[in-house]
């Protein structure tokens, strides 16, 4: 069984999804790769993991370092999961490139090459945005490229983490 709830954020409505214990989804409503609710999804806003996510997101959007992330268990291929695991290591307020992640993954298996483009595909399909910080990944020269929630949101999230005040 899957559970969902909707939250309001400064960047628009957010949909949370859970298996009952961990977050399996966190999307901006209508973003690219958003997974619409199916018939086996139940609205359950009082789920404990949703409360943890609400508290974390409230702190995050208020510009504070939110502390330990709520439990997340995104579903995907082994390669996608390895990329999402690498995303979790990116410190708050810092960025890395797709190439950095590709090199990190290639270094774990001698002789293996990992394409930055393949990393980009996995980053873009991260189903637990913000909490698994795919917005902290940039292009080769630090350029803002790709974000399923939109580049304006990506810029806003990065500015928020750097303490940049927005009007």
Which residues are part of the catalytic machinery?
Answer: 134
Q: How far is CA 76 from CA 32, 66, 82, 85, 116, in A?
A: 16, 26, 10, 12, 18
Query: CA 71, CA 53: separation in Å to the nearest integer?
Result: 9
For 83, counting Cβ atoms within 10 Å of its Cβ (0-12 exposed, 13-18 middle, 19+ buried), the class is buried
């Amino acid at each position: 069984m899957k559970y969902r709830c909707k939250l309001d954020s400064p960047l628009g409505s957010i949909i949370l999804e859970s298996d009952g214990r961990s977050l399996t989804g966190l999307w901006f409503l209508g973003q690219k790769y958003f997974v619409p609710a199916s018939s086996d999804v139940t609205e359950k806003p009082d789920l404990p993991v949703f409360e943890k996510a609400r508290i974390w997101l409230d702190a995050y959007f208020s510009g504070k370092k939110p502390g330990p992330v709520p439990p997340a268990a995104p579903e995907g291929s082994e390669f996608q999961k390895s990329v999402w695991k690498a995303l979790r290591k990116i410190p708050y307020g810092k960025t890395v490139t797709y190439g950095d992640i590709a090199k990190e993954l290639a270094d774990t298996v001698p002789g293996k090459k990992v394409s930055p483009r393949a990393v980009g595909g996995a980053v873009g399909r991260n189903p637990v945005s913000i909490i698994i910080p795919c917005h902290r990944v940039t292009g080769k020269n630090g350029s803002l490229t790709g974000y399923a929630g939109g580049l304006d949101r990506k810029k806003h999230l990065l500015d928020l983490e750097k303490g940049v005040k927005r009007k």
